[in-house]
Amino acid sequence: MERFRYDRSSKWLIEHHGDQILRLAGIEDVIAWRPLPAEIVQPRQLPDGLLEAERRGYPGKHLYLIEIETYADSSIREQIMDDLMLIYQARREVPETVLLVLRPKGQAEVPGQHEVKSVSGLTSIAARWPAVELWKLPAEAMLALHEPGLVPWITLMQSAKPPEELLRECRSVIDERARPEEMGNLLAVAQVLAGLRYNSAWLYDIFGGKQAMIESPILKEVMEEVEAKGMATGMAKGMAKGMAEGKAKGLAEGKAEGKAEGKAEGMQLSIERILKRKFGNVPADIVAALQKIQADTELARLTDAAFSCTDLEAFRKELPK
């Protein structure tokens, strides 16, 4: 669920500020660009983003494959290779590829190439790409560009400034330079991505807190889809229960029960995430209390309480006795 939030935030940035992602990889001569629908590849596996861009000194329009990973992972090589081959099959063009990794993970290395060989070794397919490790880029240099589309990424970059000072400068760039119709989404996406690195109440306040959530269509979509995923999981559990009993009645009851449980589970997870983003780790007793609540009206009330409470103790008082 958490990775899903970061994926959706990254995809919004690809679609609306893809040229700034290319800038992160050192491609600064883009004249014009537009996002292409990922469906042109194949519906069974879609890349994070596919851009078409024109650059000075490169006649014509060319493809740029964007892959964004929250952490370095051993499966990245295969994923990029698959996407490259699918795009080549569909467009007969090898796209320029940019891999953007948001945070380090232990000693895991960020891959920049991959090769696969036939059984006998007579045939091989190889690919290489630039890997951008976001935490190694200088935040100050990017801030100096005053580009709102860069701000969410800057929250994860290297800086000599205290974190709160850096993020307040990020907020200033959005306030001063963002288009009005993008203000809500940029604040919300910056809040989501910065949450990968910081777990403090001041982070929540800097980027608008509850108001940023309310004004961000992309965040609303994320919350709705989280709830839908919870409902789907619950329905699957219910159907399995009914099938195991081998009775039509059991299946029907299981589906209904699972749907209700799944919706409640989605709302419980949403509340827990809000509290975690504001205050850090959520105590086990609060999590346990949330898991006992099934009523939609009660969970909706607690969602509002999670947004407005000033500390975990205040939220704990809102829980049913």
How does pLDDT run across 253-270, given as a tens digit for each residue? 544 455 556 677 878 887
207 bridge partner residues: none
Q: What is the mean pLDDT of the chain?
A: 80
Residue 150 CA, distance from chain mean position: 15
Q: What is the mean pLDDT of residues 195-220?
A: 68
Residues 132 and 186 in one domain: no
Token output for 316: 């704990």
* Domain finish residue from 136, 151, 179: 136
Least confident of 70-84, 133-147, 258-272: 258-272
pLDDT at 101 over 80: yes
State the residue for tokens 């596996």: 45
Residues 233 and 190 in one domain: no
What is the domain count for the chain? 3
State the residue for tokens 């090589």: 77
Tell me the per-residue pLDDT of 12-60, one tens digit each, with 9 for 90 and over.
Answer: 888 899 999 999 999 999 999 999 875 544 444 557 889 999 999 899 9
Token output for 211: 């108001």
Residues 208 and 240 in one domain: no
Domain that holds residue 126: 1-136
Residues 6 and 95 in one domain: yes
Contacts 24+ apart (CB under 8 A), 27-36: 27/55, 27/64, 27/96, 27/98, 29/55, 29/56, 29/57, 30/54, 30/55, 31/55, 31/56, 36/63
Residues 196 and 238 in one domain: no
Residues 120 and 7 in one domain: yes
Q: How far is CA 6 from CA 67, 101, 152, in A?
A: 13, 12, 11
Residues 47 and 62 in one domain: yes
> What phi, psi does 126 have (nearest 5°)?
-130, 150
Residues 116 and 184 in one domain: no
pLDDT at 271: 84
Q: How far is CA 104 from CA 65, 122, 262, 277, 280, in A?
A: 22, 36, 33, 20, 20
* Domain finish residue from 84, 105, 136: 136
Residues 185 and 260 in one domain: no
* Domain finish residue from 215, 248, 270: 215
As a whole number of angstroms, the distance between CA 217 and CA 53 comes to 27
As a whole number of angstroms, the distance between CA 311 and CA 275 comes to 9
According to DSSP, the β-strands at 49-55 and 124-128 are unpaired
Residues 132 and 13 in one domain: yes
Q: What is the mean pLDDT of residues 188-202?
A: 83
CA angle 257, 220, 9 (to 5 degrees): 115
pLDDT at 73: 80
pLDDT at 3 over 80: no
Residues 127 and 12 in one domain: yes
As a whole number of angstroms, the distance between CA 236 and CA 251 comes to 10
Exposed, middle or buried, 107 (CB in 10 Å: 0-12/13-18/19+)? exposed
The radius of gyration of the chain from alpha carbons, rounded to an integer in Å, stands at 22
DSSP for residue 34: E
Residues 130 and 4 in one domain: yes
Token output for 192: 């989501």
State the residue for tokens 């399995």: 240
- Sequence-distant (6+) residues with CB within 8 A of 75 are none
As a whole number of angstroms, the distance between CA 234 and CA 229 comes to 9
**Whole-model pTM over 0.85:** no
